[in-house]
Structures are given as C-alpha cells and as structure tokens.
Structure 1
C-alpha cells in the first residue's frame, strides 16, 4: 500500500525491478480460502498490474489512494469504478518488504489501473472484486472530491452518500434500452412568466441557462418542472430534479408520467426500498434512463450527458444532509452545473437569501412573474395582531380572533380550510417589547438569550450583556412568548362541532384531502394538498415562528407561510389567508404583498452589512471544551478568520447515534463559529480539514465535529 501524496496522475511506462518486486509480493501473498474469489495463483496481471484503491475509511488522515497489486485472475473484473475488497488496517502484522499480513478486509473502490507504483516497498494484492459493475465513474469521482474539499470532509464519506449499497438481485437484471428523445414540449403554464418560454427554448436548443425561479402559487409548478425536463431530454441530454421529500417527488413524478409517459425517468426516494432504488440507480448509470426525480441523495445521481440540474424549495432543511461532511443539495448542484457546464434551475414559491445572492452576483438570472400574474394566482392575505388575539372575546373558545373566525366560517361553505400551527419545539428568541425587533449582541450581532432567566448572553460569542437597549427604537424592555399548539385540533372541534377535523403532522402526514368542507390542522411542512385548493387558511401563532432563536427565523417563517398559502385558491376564486402575527414584522409584510424576492434581497443586504452568511463563509466547530480549545489553538486558520465563542451547546438528543464531536452522555460540549470574508471559504475549509486530519492521525483525545456553512447558527 502506498500514499497518493505528491505522485503523478499519469501512468508510468513500467520498471523491470519494480514489476519483479510486485510479482514476488503477489506470489507470496496468502489470502484466506474461505473468502470468495480470493487470489491464489502466482501470476500478476500482464498489463497495468497496479490498482489504485480508495478504501472505505472516512478518517481524514487516510483521505488518499492506496496501491495494490492485481492478480491475473482478477485482471478482467478489476476495472476502474468497481467495488473491491482489500486488506487494510493496523490489525495486520508488518513484515519485511512493507507487506502486511493478517490485516482485516475492507471495502473500497478501484479508481485507476496503472503500470507502476511509486511506493518503494512490496504491494499487497487485491483480495477480490465484489462486483464487475463499474459504479464509480470519472465524473462522479471528480464531483465527490470537489464536495469533500468544499465541506472539509473525506472522499470516502461523500461516496457513502453518492453510491447506494449494492443489491445483487437488482444488479443481475439488465436495464432496458433507452427511449428516444421526446418532442419539444409547448410552454404550457410557463407562458405566465415573461422569460419562461425563452428558458424552455434555451434548454431544448442545448444551451445551459442558469435561473432562480420564483414560482407562482397554485398547483402548476410540478407541470412546469416536467416541461423543463422534457425540453432538456428533447435536446438529447439528461436532467436531474431534487425535491425535499417523497410527497413532493410523487407530484413531480406524476407530472412527468402524464407529460412523457413511462420509461423516460427514474424516481429515487427512500420509500422505494433498497432493491428497487438500486435498480433505478443502475438504470441511470447505464444510460437507460436520462431523467431523475428524487430526494436528497439523488443529488449525486450519475445522469448521462447531464443538461439540467434543478432543486425545488432549497430552503427546506431536508436538503441539508445530516451525515458527514453535511453537504447541501443546492451547493452540490451548483458544483455539478459548473463542472458539467449544464443548465441550473433553483425554484420555489419562496426565495432564500442564497438564491437572492446567486442573482445579485450575476451567476444566475431571475425568472419570476409580473405583478398582474401574482394578483391572479395568490390569495388575499390579511393580518391579525397577536395582541388583538388576547383582547378579542371571540377568541376564548378556539384561540381565534373575530376576523379568523369569520374567515373559517365563510371558507367552510365551499370547501376545506387549512390551519397551520407551529410544531412542538418552536421556542422564540428575545425581542424588543416595544417594536419586536430581535435582540442582538452589540459585539457580533448574534441572538441574545437568558439561560438563567436573569442575565443576558450571546448565543454565538458568549459575551454577557448587562445594559441592552434596542438599536431600532431605544427600548429597554424584552419580550419572550411560547405559544402552545397541541390542543388546536380539539379546540377547533369544539368551536365547529359539525365539521370534520383532520390532522397532519410528524406522526401521521396526509398526502391529500378531498375538496369537501373540513378543518385540516397541520404543522409546517406537513400540509396536504386539497382537491381544487383550500378555500382559506389560518396561520396561527406567528410570533412563535418569527421569534425562533435562529438567524433564518424570518426567512423560514415566510417560507412556511408561503408554502401553506400557495395551497389556497387565488384571490379571484375567493381564497383568503389570515396570519396571526404582528403586522409590522418584515416577513408578515412580505407575505401580505406576496413579495418573497424583496424580502430575500433585504435580508441579504442586512447580512452583508453585519458579515453574516451567505455573504461570508462560516464553519461551526463542536466538541468537548478541552478538545475544542486544543483544535482551535493548532489550526492554521486564514489571517482574516474571526472566531466567535466558544459557547455551551445542548447535549445531543437521546436515542440518536453518537457522531464525531458528540461528548459522552452528560459531558459538556461547546461550539465555536469561525467566520471568514468572501473568497476565503476554500482556505478555511482546507485549514480545518488539515487540522482535523493531523489530530486524528495523532489520536489526540476526543474528536471535534466540523460543519461548513451550518444551516442553523442560532
């Protein structure tokens, strides 16, 4: 075995002395006979006898390739991209010549065949080839390496996310022949956007436009995605669409099937099961299917001739992977668009700050409707102050002010009414009692909290605040409110006893409801689609949504509200939305005007002024206090790096597997935020990765966890 440090990527011409040494090593290798397809002979592969292997070890100091000898009997199957088993690890006995005997077998990917190795010692032999199916192509390998470098992770960890587990039965079945390209579709509902037809023409013509698409509310967006995919397929290229969950994937899947018929696309979701999912993935890799719709893991799908990558609702937390190195779908698809020179489409009824930055920087162009189309498609939005809720006598029976009560009663005459309530666990941050502006630290602008209900401290840098006053109005009073929502369904049932009440939430999520009068109580993200659309929607407890201790609280509240309101009928059909929240709050005003783009642009400008992501790049480093302090002391961070904290963080949730950086149960943990200005993100990731690799190589105590661009820094 040898390291890949400082070696050429070009195969050598071969050296007789080295080839003799390799043959002698293979001749003496002893592999247990109980293992299938083990090497026993004395012959070495005649051509390219060296295999460069990526072993399945996620530790950073082993994030490199290792060389193995290829026995003659494995020559035909040991091709680049296949899965292999090799001997690796400290459990073996080191012998003369550098060969390791008795080590354990470990999975790996054969990356390359070479004529020689620059390792001066003897090489161990490949144990066997798991399958001759090449699952790791050059494009997927290059993308995975780019993702690993961006997120300060290891290539092996990324490949764990990119390549699904093998299923022998699925692998043994041949994939069908690819269907011919479909005809160029008509614009259809894309006509509602000024640039919509032109975007489809560019896709059908083989071009690579990049767009941030603010979709109109209503039921047409799955068809619009399907037509963009069809236009790309008509150009002879492939398309990839990533959505937050299986329910959304099902809607796009149905739209594609209705437009193109079966056989043109694959559906990659966890609900499919391992065998079916792997069979679909193989059909994509073999080129039998050139369009993919799927959830998060589909962002790595090996689509042949990729012409379009699309992500829907990039602000959904499901797009951020919880496994190291924690990649985000939006960022991975941006890398794919750049590497493959293909089209890029980021869509949603809302607009994230990151999407606004793509437009602001000129990397992508806006694709949005004019105000006349918005007035037709969006419902009427009305507001009720949550202070008025407490004063209104009509609210006592069901926590509904008079306006909301009347809206529900009128809506139930023609169809279902949606009621959105915050899920359990929404806890607001502190805010000014007078103007409701979030209370922020004067040093780093992080959110203030009161852990002991007396002293204020910053949740980011840990500094204590003794004389806070509001920067907006000068007020000195603070407000915090936690509104419960568990009994909402029961209260509404008592308020409207003759109307059926249905619930949709974490324990039981409804896909759809009939278009008959009913009250549908749902937590954010679990709203079912109603046949014909909801007649009205109530967005309750707005303060609990906006007041969360998170930098993205306002953006996330608006995203949740627009997602629910988009299911309501348009204003010409009588659709009405009532949001119970302070009318002066920025997200509430954006909802009333239905202006998510304007809200995102203002948030982006504010973050640029304060140095917040995505304008800056940030990393969260978490671990036990001593380990975290030692890590930060030894890391060679960029000169511009600013360290915020460390501050204590809550213990890991019970029942969840421990991860690097998690302390033992009951042990304290701390987190530090490392911030760098624009253009220094790659240097920050490289420095953190090098420090972590050096620490694991030395075996220095407890590990720390690194997360680049954490989605939640509240």
Structure 2
C-alpha cells in the first residue's frame, strides 16, 4: 500500500494568491504521494508564472491534495487540462531525480505489479539530502548510442573466482558504452566495485548522504559504470548501452516490500523500453530465463569445460561416507578443504534418544539448539529448556536432528584433528581468508574467498538441497552446486555426498546445467506452473476469504477472468490470515493482473484494508 512520506524538506514557498500562470505549457502533470492506493493516476496542477523556469520533469514539488500538503513528482508539462486546477504550492527541490525514461519505466512496473507509482518510486529514488544538492549537478550530454541491442545469458566458468570473471566481462562491455550491473547483495557489490575505482556504487547499505550523492552522479551522466543492488535497476542513466544482472534467479533480487517486483523482469522491461542490450551472468539460469533460452529469445553462451567430480553415497545417515576420508586428507595436504553444509546453527530439532519422540514446547513450537553452548529453546516462544526432559518417557538424553554448521564443525574437527578450522555462516561471514591452510565450514552464500581456490570442496547432505518444499528448491540447489565450483582450485575436485542417481553429478561434471534445467521445464509445463503460468498470492484475513473466493469464482463464470485460471486455497498462514494462490497461462496473465488491480482499487475506495499482494513471487509457499 502507498504510504505518504512525511514532508520535512526545505523549500521555497510561493504565494498561493498568485493567479498569473506560466505562458508555455502551463500545466504540470504530477504523481502525488497521497497514500491512497486507488488514486494512482497523475493529477494536473497549474504552474504559477514565478515557477515557470524551474518546473521541470523529474523535480519534487508540494501540492495540496484533499486539503493536505503532499509530495509530488512532475512527470510532464502540458498545454491544457479539462479540470479546474489548483496551483503547485512549493518547489521542494530544483534537482531532477527522474528522467522521461525512468518515469516510463516506473509507470510500466507499477502497471505490471498492480501498484501505486509511489510504491515503486520509494525503491527507485533514494530519500533527498538537501546538503548534497548544493553541488553542481548539470547533466553531461553524451553522443547518441549506435548499438544493436542483444540479449544473452553468459555462463560463468568453474575454477575461477566469479568476481574476476564478471570484472573481465564488464571491462569488455564498457567499450560499447555505459553499463549498469545489478548484483544480489552488498558483499558482491563492494567486491566488484573494488575492481573499478571510478564506478558509482548504489547500495542501500550506504549512508543516506553517500547514497543520494551516488544516485545524482549516475543521473548526471558522469559514470560509465554503475554497480548496485536491487533498487539500482531503476538508476536513471542517459545513453545506457547494457544492463547486466548477476545471478538473476537469486531471492535477493526480489523486492520484499509491496508490490514485490524483481530485478530480472524489470531489467527485461527496461531493455525493451530503452532499447539497450540485456546480459545475464551466472552459473545456472532460473526457470524463467531457461524458458526464454528455449524460445531463443535469449542467446545462451556456455562454457566448454569439465569439472572433476566424485560422489559418495550415505548408507547409514553417517556424516562422512567412509570412502571420502582419503580424498579429504589428500586435499588437506595440498591446500584448504571447504565443507559446504545446508544449515547454520547446531541442531534444527531434538528427539528423545530413548523413545525417539520429537521434542516440542507446551505452546506447540519445535525445540532446537542454536549453538553447542546454548540451551535448547522453543522456535516459537523462545523458552529455554536447560533441563530438558522427554514429555513422553521422561528420558533426559537428547538426540539431535538436522545437523547445523556448528555440529558439523564439531564432528569434522574430531575426524580431522590437527588442522586449523574456520566457520563462515549467518551473521559471522568471512569474506576473504588469506594465508590460510586448513578446514573451512560454510553455509551457501557464505563461502570465503581463498588464494588459488580450495583443493577440495565437499558438499554434505547434498540431496537435502533438492528436497525442500517450494518449487524453487531444485533451481536453487542447481545454482548453489555450480557456483560453489567457482571456488575450486585449478587442480581441485568436487566431492558430493549425494545419492548416486542424482542428475546433478553428471550436470556438474560436464558443466551443463541444461541437463537438469530442461527436465524441470518439462515437469513444470505439464502442470502449468511458472514460468508457463503467471502466478500471484493474495493474503487477507481468514474471515474475508469466503467472500473473496466467491467473487473470484464469479469473475471466472462471467468471463472477466480466463476459464484457465486456477484458484488454490485458502491456506491458513499466520495471525488469522489466509492465502489464496491464483495461476493462469502466461498468455492470459495481463487479464488476471488487471482484475486483481481493480479488486484492490475497490477495497481501497471502500476504505477496506488492502490484501497483501505478490505478483510472480519468488515462491508460492514461503
């Protein structure tokens, strides 16, 4: 839902009694931050003569809306309007923060995700810092681009630091013009920016002053390379030649706030609107991009190489199968060995060692153990169980289920004594390990960089990555297996603790994610799951779900929704709320979005709380 931003900005106030208007194009078309969802269209305001030379597209102004002062963004100037108009009250800033191109993109995103434009603006434009605007921010005009736009997915190589591979590509791409690159997280952005001293960095972890200054630098045209995280996809860059998205399937590329847009789809929209090249860099494409590759809408550029892969099957749920020990010892004599484990913490659950009853709290929550030194505690209410006793047989000996990284560290340290051991997980991530030789235990996304790479990378409980409940689990696991191989030394080996029938073994060894991706696409196509359908989730109070379901079914019966629309649920999620999932084939997706947009507008107009809406979310169940 649109939330009005408080106005605390210094500005020049013009007399409200002024009646003489600007002579040329005296009407400003403005998006108003009203905080009212259904009032999402632009509104016209008269431009007083005294503001004529200063009202430009992209500047922030204050206007009176429903008797209250509201911030607005000027998106156009026109010659006439059919309405009786109020005048603009104030100019909040003379510095434009949007261009015609970025306004067009924001409008397209708002339509695609059934959102108020200001919900997108809050992501696209950082908060104003008046002191930053005192500098010189005139635009640098460049020569018009003369490129033939291309669309490609470029696979990154194994056994080479991904940061180095990406930097090599960007250095070549910049020869054709300005480049915008969006990476999944701040760690990646900072590492990449370290290779390009003149790049502009756009990241929400920067302080407000630096973030706004960098945004204006990008807008002014003074940067040939802009590196950023999620919101940087909206950065207004004149004469942009290439949009690059790294690891496009990452969950980090999905906006957490409503309406939940994602970088991949915004990048596709932007490349079409601005006629730029579009490049995805990664190890294994998402299902959405894999489908576009099959349709030949995106060119796939693969790496021709193989990776040494050995697999070891667990027979009795042991942590390390017997045959893997010799390979690990060999690796430790050559360099460092990385153990990639699926979970952080110590143990995900506890059962009684005597009767195997799963331990639970009086509130119904699962009991787990965060660290080896902490007491077991409830995952829901947080109650400690320092003197835990089985509620069934009164046994006092716990059996730990679902090893976490700290438990892995204990057992691996005991199995290979005499070697230094480092852990990287959660809030204690190690970015780089220099001059280190020993054992490293890490969770996915927390692998430390190490000189020359790891001599062995052992992925433990490998099948568990593929067995999670959401439809992205195989896609996420595939990306993790392939990306981890970039940390491998040139003479290193991948050691997989997986079932011998798992197709990841052959796919990784031949460096061909398509072996698995194509099969997954066929399976999804058979049941019309994304990317062969558009999907949305609608969360509302459980008491309302009956009437919402009735209205949706009526829309299908009356032909306002395609008959192919599937309505799943409602599913109770939490705090008295339930969820409905709607899917429809891709070709009918816009009809579904339009109807849901109308549904939300009607709720807003009748002063009902908006349903929590996610369109094409990362997961339908998480």
TM range (shorter): 0.7 to 0.9
TM-score for both structures, normalised by structure 2: 0.83
CA pair 521-220 structure 1, distance change in 2 beyond 3 A: closer
The answer to whether the aligner puts 1:405 opposite 2:325 as a matched pair is: yes
Counterpart of 2:612 in structure 1 is 705
Counterpart of 1:448 in structure 2 is none
Counterpart of 2:563 in structure 1 is 640
The residue matched to 1:487 in structure 2 has which SS? helix
CA pair 550-249 structure 1, distance change in 2 beyond 3 A: same
The answer to whether the aligner puts 1:487 opposite 2:407 as a matched pair is: yes
**Aligned-residue offset at 1:628:** 3.3
Q: 1 or 2, which has the higher strand percentage?
A: 2
**Aligned-residue offset at 1:156:** 1.4
Counterpart of 2:175 in structure 1 is 234
Counterpart of 1:156 in structure 2 is 118
The answer to whether the aligner puts 1:324 opposite 2:239 as a matched pair is: no
The answer to whether the aligner puts 1:414 opposite 2:354 as a matched pair is: no
The residue matched to 2:315 in structure 1 has which SS? helix
* Structure 2 contact 345–406 (Cα < 8 Å) conserved: no
**Aligned-residue offset at 1:297:** 0.9
**Aligned-residue offset at 1:41:** 4.5
Counterpart of 1:191 in structure 2 is none
Partner deviation per Cα, 1:53-110 (whole Å, 9 max, x = no partner): 1111454311101122223333232222100112224xxxxxxxxxxxxx32221101
The residue matched to 1:111 in structure 2 has which SS? strand
Counterpart of 2:516 in structure 1 is 599
Q: Mapping of 1:83-122 within 5 angstroms?
A: 83-89=60-66, 103-119=67-83, 121=84
The residue matched to 2:508 in structure 1 has which SS? helix
Match of 1:211 among 118, 143, 152: 152
Match of 2:15 among 33, 39, 44: 39
CA pair 514-422 structure 1, distance change in 2 beyond 3 A: same
Match of 1:528 among 440, 448, 463: 448
**Aligned-residue offset at 1:589:** 4.3
**Aligned-residue offset at 1:322:** 0.6
Rounded to whole Å, the distance in 2 between the matches of 1:368 and 1:227 is 16
The answer to whether the aligner puts 1:131 opposite 2:117 as a matched pair is: no
How large is the Cα RMSD of the aligned pairs?
A: 2.8
Rounded to whole Å, the distance in 1 between the matches of 2:514 and 2:294 is 11
The residue matched to 1:344 in structure 2 has which SS? strand
**Aligned-residue offset at 1:632:** 3.9
Counterpart of 2:33 in structure 1 is 56
Counterpart of 1:456 in structure 2 is none
Rounded to whole Å, the distance in 2 between the matches of 1:112 and 1:240 is 26
**Aligned-residue offset at 1:221:** 4.4
**Aligned-residue offset at 1:650:** 3.2
Partner deviation per Cα, 1:187-230 (whole Å, 9 max, x = no partner): xxxxxxxxxxxxxxxxx982212111121113354444444444
Partner deviation per Cα, 1:275-322 (whole Å, 9 max, x = no partner): 112111111111111321111111111111111111111121101111
* Structure 1 contact 558–588 (Cα < 8 Å) conserved: no
Partner deviation per Cα, 1:346-381 (whole Å, 9 max, x = no partner): 1111222122111111211111122xxx12xx3x22
* Structure 1 contact 621–672 (Cα < 8 Å) conserved: yes
CA pair 528-367 structure 1, distance change in 2 beyond 3 A: same
CA pair 36-535 structure 1, distance change in 2 beyond 3 A: same
Q: Mapping of 1:51-450 within 5 angstroms?
A: 51-57=28-34, 59-89=36-66, 103-119=67-83, 121=84, 123-174=85-136, 206-219=147-160, 221-235=162-176, 237-255=177-195, 257=196, 262-263=197-198, 265-370=199-304, 374-375=305-306, 378=307, 380-390=308-318, 399-424=319-344
Partner deviation per Cα, 1:333-358 (whole Å, 9 max, x = no partner): 11111111111111111222122111
* Structure 2 contact 537–615 (Cα < 8 Å) conserved: yes
CA pair 500-158 structure 1, distance change in 2 beyond 3 A: same
Rounded to whole Å, the distance in 2 between the matches of 1:58 and 1:208 is 38
CA pair 340-247 structure 1, distance change in 2 beyond 3 A: same
Match of 1:584 among 501, 505, 513: 501
**Aligned-residue offset at 1:642:** 2.6
Partner deviation per Cα, 1:442-501 (whole Å, 9 max, x = no partner): xxxxxxxxx999xxxxxxxxxxxxxxxxxxxxxxxxxxx845444122222333332222
Partner deviation per Cα, 1:129-157 (whole Å, 9 max, x = no partner): 11011112110111111111111222111
The residue matched to 1:555 in structure 2 has which SS? helix
Greater shift, 204-213 or 136-145, is seen at 204-213
Match of 1:613 among 505, 527, 530: 530
The answer to whether the aligner puts 1:567 opposite 2:482 as a matched pair is: no
Greater shift, 320-329 or 54-63, is seen at 54-63
**Aligned-residue offset at 1:551:** 0.8
Rounded to whole Å, the distance in 1 between the matches of 2:516 and 2:435 is 32
The answer to whether the aligner puts 1:630 opposite 2:547 as a matched pair is: yes
Q: Which runs of 5 or more residues in structure 1 are unaligned?
A: 1-33, 90-102, 182-203, 391-398, 429-450, 454-480, 652-666
Rounded to whole Å, the distance in 1 between the matches of 2:345 and 2:189 is 27
CA pair 165-310 structure 1, distance change in 2 beyond 3 A: same
Rounded to whole Å, the distance in 2 between the matches of 1:342 and 1:70 is 35
Rounded to whole Å, the distance in 2 between the matches of 1:241 and 1:417 is 32
* Structure 1 contact 512–528 (Cα < 8 Å) conserved: yes
Aligned residue-pair number: 555
CA pair 327-74 structure 1, distance change in 2 beyond 3 A: same
TM-score for both structures, normalised by structure 1: 0.73
Rounded to whole Å, the distance in 2 between the matches of 1:425 and 1:72 is 65
Rounded to whole Å, the distance in 1 between the matches of 2:273 and 2:402 is 47
